[in-house]
Chains A and B, each alone.
Chain A
Amino acid sequence: MTALLELSNVGMAFDTPTGRFEALKDVNLKIAAGEFVSLIGHSGCGKSTVLNIVAGLLRATDGGVILDRREVSEPGPERAVVFQNHSLLPWLTAFENVELAVRQVFRKQKSKKEMRDWVAHNLELVHMGHAMDKTPREISGGMKQRVGIARALAMQPRVLLMDEPFGALDALTRAHLQDSLMAIHAQLGTTVIMITHDVDEAVLLSDRIMMMSNGPSATIGEVLPVTLPRPRDRVALADDPGYHRCRQKVLRFLYEKQRKVTPLSGRQEPAPSCLTGTDAPPRGRG
């Protein structure tokens, strides 16, 4: 298997007022085309940092990222990002938000009409066809996140990067979007890296779960392949012993091996936030 995306010995150190802070050390990761990988770990361990390095929004201080045999040095639409808080331009409609991305990527390849059709197609894909002309403030949080996903998919990225895409949503909406995402992944075969705090979400969606150790000098502690057959059904899986074994392994990693003994100063995290399936308290992303 040749990897589509490869992180080798990625390290990241931040210069802070109190000195150098080594957030990541020796992160190694190989992802095949079409794979769905999730990153899970305690808050502040460095998940967003890994994702931002892959996106090119941050430059690793050590090691490097290779996508399609080419080194990643800057952000680009072939590594589309779905941000945690949707990040839609509030002055544009859903359609225009996606259109901006499409125009930027397909300006030279598609005609105006083809581009419009492609925008509409992607909005239909996330079931937002009926609200294309609404602005972000006129639609709900879940709908905004759908538009954000449509925008990312419309770029036809080699890798889709998602930073806690459903973190800010209620449980029902989240389940809905997870199902949509699974369907889209099955249909398009997009390669996905998703950060999550939610153990159930990770097991349900992923082919592999990367469990990160706590920082500083965080790295990928364990990798859990999830071999449950697709398509997966959340209700059927509730009684599936294989599903529970996976869940158990992730929970054991998070709460036994990587238990947070001393919370980082100034950021007290209630440890069992992942257990309940609700999200950790919101905090600014790195």
Chain B
Amino acid sequence: MVTMTLPDWLASCRDLMRGKAGPAQQQAVLRQLVWPLLGILLFLLLWHWAARNIQTSLGQFPGPATVWEQTQALYQEHREARQREVAFHERQEKYIETRLAQQPDWQPVRRDYTGAPTFFDQIGTSLITVMSGFLLASALAIPLGIVVGLSAGLHAAVNPLIQIFKPVSPLAWLPLVTMVVSAVYTSGDPWIAKSFLNSMFTVTLCCLWPTLLNTAVGVTSVSSDLINVSRVLRLNAFEHVRRIVLPSALPMMFTGLRLSLGVAWMVLIAAEMLAQNPGLGKFVWDEFQNGSSQSLGRIMVAVLVIGLIGFLLDRLMLALQRFLVWDKSAARR
């Protein structure tokens, strides 16, 4: 059964309002709500002040107010684009209907709407890409990490490779990935966009390593006492991995997965910018090239959204970790 619990600070607020809060809870509200809000407020003030003092060739650096305006403008554009799309489909259906009435043997051709993606479309694209790349990386890295962790020889063999590939920047992988994808994936009417595959594989290649390394370390550091238990019980290899190794390595594995997801998100934005692949990175790049007076404000919106999404992704992993991992202390960071 899933029980819903209020976040600590919300519970503390509730108690505070009911007049039940002790000093400890007042402390908690202070620490978890008041101080963070003060920090954000101070940051906004500083930002506002600094923005007024920076003049660029595209006008004044965007302050909080400009960014808020642009956020609303982007949302408005998104709504309008959606309405245009609906209108387009209505028109198309009406046209097909009238034409079929005149000419019943006509085969209707329905076209997709091809408006430019909005900011929110780009967010969606980026999220799908990062998740695909991350999931593919995890699906490769976890089993590989377990195998590498179990065999000391394999560990020694693979370790130098990992150490060399781990620090490679996504920008270096990108051209290679692009060329390989074009060479291998040559269907005339691609079911999945090549640009999506390029971004995804680049993300995969870059975020493979933290999960791989941490899983391997987690597996190697299984307590020798538990291994002895497994030997006395004569667990077979599969049961040994399932009952002893995996649960032991799970906390480390999740540390790796969280790192990987962070890397994946960073890498994706860079790759999208460089390769002009659809997503938030492309949005930023397009605005930069566009160079209108609104561009800097819009880029700033994108920057904040990128940060926010990165934060939320990390929280998501943390929640998953808390849910799955027996060692609650490992998930408390």
- Say how far A19's CB is from chain B's closest CB, in angstroms: 23
Q: Are A75 and B244 in contact (CB under 8 A)?
A: no
Q: Which interface residue of B229, B232, B326 has the most chain A CB atoms within 10 A?
A: B232
Q: Residues of A contacting B228 with CB < 8 Å?
A: 57, 75, 81, 83, 87
Q: Are B225 and A87 in contact (CB under 8 A)?
A: yes
Which chain A residues (68-95) contact chain B, with CB distance < 8 Å?
A: 74-77, 79-81, 83, 85, 87, 89-91
- Say how far A192's CB is from chain B's closest CB, in angstroms: 16
Q: Are B326 and A77 in contact (CB under 8 A)?
A: no
**Dominant SS among interface residues on chain B:** helix
- Say how far A52's CB is from chain B's closest CB, in angstroms: 8
Q: Residues of A contacting B223 with CB < 8 Å?
A: 87
- Say how far A162's CB is from chain B's closest CB, in angstroms: 13
Determine the residue in chain B with the shortest Cβ distance to A100: B243
Q: Residues of A contacting B77 with CB < 8 Å?
A: none
Q: Are A89 and B231 in contact (CB under 8 A)?
A: no
- Say how far B68's CB is from chain A's closest CB, in angstroms: 47
Q: Residues of B contacting A18 with CB < 8 Å?
A: none
Q: Are A91 and B225 in contact (CB under 8 A)?
A: no
Interface string of A27-64 (1 = CB under 8 A from B): 00000000000000000000000000001110000000
Identify 30 residue pairs between A and B in the complex whose beta-carbon atoms are under 8 Å apart, listed by A's number.
A55-B232, A56-B231, A57-B228, A74-B231, A75-B231, A75-B232, A75-B234, A76-B232, A76-B234, A77-B233, A79-B232, A80-B232, A81-B228, A81-B232, A87-B223, A87-B225, A87-B226, A87-B228, A89-B229, A89-B243, A89-B247, A90-B327, A91-B247, A91-B326, A100-B233, A100-B243, A104-B234, A104-B235, A135-B326, A155-B233
Q: Are B233 and A104 in contact (CB under 8 A)?
A: yes
Q: Are B226 and A89 in contact (CB under 8 A)?
A: yes
Query: Is A101 in the interface zone, CB < 8 Å from B?
Result: yes
A56 to B234, CA, bound (A): 11
Q: Residues of B contacting A105 with CB < 8 Å?
A: 233
Which chain B residues (298-332) contact chain A, with CB distance < 8 Å?
A: 326-327
A104 to B229, CA, bound (A): 12
A113 to B327, CA, bound (A): 30
Q: Residues of B contacting A55 with CB < 8 Å?
A: 232
Range class of the B interface residue count? 10 to 19
Determine the residue in chain B with the shortest Cβ distance to A85: B225
Chain A residues within CB distance 8 Å of chain B: 55-57, 74-77, 79-81, 83, 85, 87, 89-91, 100-101, 104-105, 135, 155
Q: Residues of B contacting A79 with CB < 8 Å?
A: 232
A135 to B244, CA, bound (A): 16
Which chain B residues (207-265) contact chain A, with CB distance < 8 Å?
A: 223, 225-226, 228-229, 231-235, 243-244, 247, 250
**Dominant SS among interface residues on chain A:** loop
Q: Residues of A contacting B250 with CB < 8 Å?
A: 91
- Say how far A148's CB is from chain B's closest CB, in angstroms: 9
Q: A75-B234, A85-B225, A91-B247 are in contact. List 9 more A-B contacts (CB 8 A).
A: A74-B234, A75-B232, A77-B232, A77-B233, A83-B229, A87-B228, A89-B226, A89-B243, A100-B243
A89 to B247, CA, bound (A): 9
- Say how far A153's CB is from chain B's closest CB, in angstroms: 13
- Say how far A103's CB is from chain B's closest CB, in angstroms: 9
Q: Are A87 and B231 in contact (CB under 8 A)?
A: no
Q: Are A77 and B243 in contact (CB under 8 A)?
A: no
- Say how far A182's CB is from chain B's closest CB, in angstroms: 24
Determine the residue in chain B with the shortest Cβ distance to A55: B232
Q: Residues of B contacting A57 with CB < 8 Å?
A: 228, 231-232
Q: Are B326 and A90 in contact (CB under 8 A)?
A: yes
A169 to B178, CA, bound (A): 63
A183 to B200, CA, bound (A): 64
- Say how far A206's CB is from chain B's closest CB, in angstroms: 23
Q: Residues of A contacting B247 with CB < 8 Å?
A: 89, 91
Q: Residues of A contacting B243 with CB < 8 Å?
A: 89, 100
A186 to B136, CA, bound (A): 58
- The 8 Å CB contact of B229, one of A74, A87, A91, is A87
- Say how far A163's CB is from chain B's closest CB, in angstroms: 10
A80 to B228, CA, bound (A): 11
Q: Residues of B contacting A83 with CB < 8 Å?
A: 225, 228-229
- Say how far A107's CB is from chain B's closest CB, in angstroms: 11
Q: Residues of B contacting A77 with CB < 8 Å?
A: 232-234
Q: Nearest 9 pairs between A and B by C-beta?
A: A91-B326, A87-B225, A75-B231, A91-B247, A104-B233, A75-B232, A87-B229, A81-B232, A83-B225
Q: Residues of B contacting A104 with CB < 8 Å?
A: 233-235
Q: Residues of A contacting B225 with CB < 8 Å?
A: 83, 85, 87
A76 to B225, CA, bound (A): 15
A101 to B326, CA, bound (A): 20
Q: Residues of B contacting A87 with CB < 8 Å?
A: 223, 225-226, 228-229
A239 to B193, CA, bound (A): 89
Determine the residue in chain B with the shortest Cβ distance to A90: B326
Q: Residues of A contacting B233 with CB < 8 Å?
A: 77, 100-101, 104-105, 155
A105 to B232, CA, bound (A): 11
Interface string of B29-41 (1 = CB under 8 A from A): 0000000000000
A89 to B223, CA, bound (A): 10
A247 to B259, CA, bound (A): 59
A89 to B326, CA, bound (A): 11
A90 to B326, CA, bound (A): 8
Q: Residues of A contacting B235 with CB < 8 Å?
A: 104
Q: Are B244 and A89 in contact (CB under 8 A)?
A: yes
Q: Residues of A contacting B327 with CB < 8 Å?
A: 90-91
